[in-house]
Structure 1
């Protein structure tokens, strides 16, 4: 819902799955970016990529069947609505969005699509298939993702200042300013538990990760990392 009427009540807007997705995707991308050029942490980089791709796939499903403000139909709008929203930000009565605002919505869509493209190209590169320059495409997509992340963060800061509401805190607590009738009824804890269980399953080696033969989990991977560095140093000698 979008309006210019001041909202004074703090209501539950973001369910737990949405909040967990948001922060786990942020951590996954940051970790993948840091480990991108390190042979020592190659397996960690791959696991982070799988995590990001899986999170986005689950978010797409949740965007269709989740709580009202999590659904794409509730916040993805056309160019005219985006322009109208941006114009309102410099007016005396900036438009308030209970869920995602029209401009931020497209940044989110871009982040989801870029993540899928990055993961897809990464899988092909790891399989040593596809065109020779696909690795460059993979890196270019990651750079584009970083740019969109920067735009998203800038939008969050601007929105927080304009609406005098801490949007970062809202994505932690799930609560935003809004009309009582706009609140969701449940944080969907069971879905959140299932999401965490899937991620933990991959990272502990309980669930398979294609491209990582006999996925042994985070402990085994980190234990082998120093050995990989040692072998690399020996080869250079």
Structure 2
């Protein structure tokens, strides 16, 4: 069941029991910011051969994060589950109409429009990472490389739309959505909050990611700028011209 609360005007009369509640558990927040870091890092290093090790490592990290998010979307806390926020076209259309009219209902978790962006980003991340891996393994030729680049550019566009939606939602509902993804807390009633932040899972995620990055770096002891490096056993020849 998707939990909603009153609009700003309605929420003013909701009573003193309304306050800051825990909505986003630690794994969701760690996933979100690691994805931001990995996608941004992979995107800006895509055209630089000397940074190939970093680019590939961040791409593999993205793939692992998406797999985790898909699993956590089934077994995670209330607002992390896809069943809580993924809705059909009618609900999405109704929310967007209300949003454009300045009267969209405030959702404690993801709203229906935000859910579309999340699902799209997860799907695009899978397309980007799988095509990137296949391209790196020389499995698809030029067309696959172009598909990989196109998928990354489309994903960047969806990220931009998502950011605009977050900023608009923050203004519309008077609730800091960016800050909520840092603290995990949003405006709502105590009964709607999640009981556990699952910090242990978030810590394990960070340990796994940092451990993977360390093993990748150890595979290139000479450094990415000084000679051949290997990524998961495959040599990366520095200064290679692919054009």
Match of residue 134 from structure 1 = 144
Supply the distance in 1 between the matched residues of 2:62 and 2:31 (Cα, whole angstroms).
Answer: 9
CA offsets 1:36-59 (integer angstroms, 9 cap, x no match): 011101011000001101001000
Q: How far did 1:21 drift?
A: 0.2
Secondary structure in structure 1 of the residue aligned to 2:73: helix
> Which of 49, 54, 57 is the equivalent residue of 1:44?
54
Match of residue 2 from structure 1 = 4
Q: How far did 1:83 drift?
A: 1.0
> Which of 105, 109, 112 is the equivalent residue of 2:115?
105
Is 1:178 the counterpart of 2:165? The answer is no
Secondary structure in structure 1 of the residue aligned to 2:206: helix
Supply the distance in 1 between the matched residues of 2:226 and 2:42 (Cα, whole angstroms).
Answer: 20
Cα root mean square deviation, aligned: 2.0
Supply the distance in 1 between the matched residues of 2:50 and 2:181 (Cα, whole angstroms).
Answer: 34
Match of residue 154 from structure 1 = 164
Supply the distance in 2 between the matched residues of 1:114 and 1:102 (Cα, whole angstroms).
Answer: 19
CA offsets 1:134-192 (integer angstroms, 9 cap, x no match): 10000000000000000000000000000111110000000001121110001001111
Match of residue 211 from structure 1 = none
Contact 1:12 1:176 in 2 (8 A): yes
Contact 1:118 1:142 in 2 (8 A): yes
Indicate the larger mover: 44-53 or 5-14: 5-14
Supply the distance in 2 between the matched residues of 1:17 and 1:24 (Cα, whole angstroms).
Answer: 10
Superposition pairs of residues 1-237 of structure 1, within 5 angstroms: 1-4=3-6, 5-6=10-11, 8-91=18-101, 93-205=103-215, 215-217=216-218, 220=220, 223-228=222-227, 232=239
Supply the distance in 2 between the matched residues of 1:38 and 1:90 (Cα, whole angstroms).
Answer: 41
Secondary structure in structure 2 of the residue aligned to 1:11: strand
Supply the distance in 2 between the matched residues of 1:128 and 1:231 (Cα, whole angstroms).
Answer: 17
Supply the distance in 2 between the matched residues of 1:78 and 1:34 (Cα, whole angstroms).
Answer: 35
Cα distance change on mapping 1:226 and 1:131 into 2, 3 Å: closer
Cα distance change on mapping 1:22 and 1:231 into 2, 3 Å: closer
Supply the distance in 2 between the matched residues of 1:40 and 1:116 (Cα, whole angstroms).
Answer: 25
Supply the distance in 2 between the matched residues of 1:123 and 1:90 (Cα, whole angstroms).
Answer: 40
Supply the distance in 2 between the matched residues of 1:70 and 1:120 (Cα, whole angstroms).
Answer: 24
- TM value normalised by structure 1: 0.88
Supply the distance in 2 between the matched residues of 1:39 and 1:231 (Cα, whole angstroms).
Answer: 6
**Which consecutive unaligned segments of at least 5 residues does structure 1 have?**
206-214
Secondary structure in structure 1 of the residue aligned to 2:33: helix
**Which consecutive unaligned segments of at least 5 residues does structure 2 have?**
229-236
Cα distance change on mapping 1:168 and 1:231 into 2, 3 Å: closer
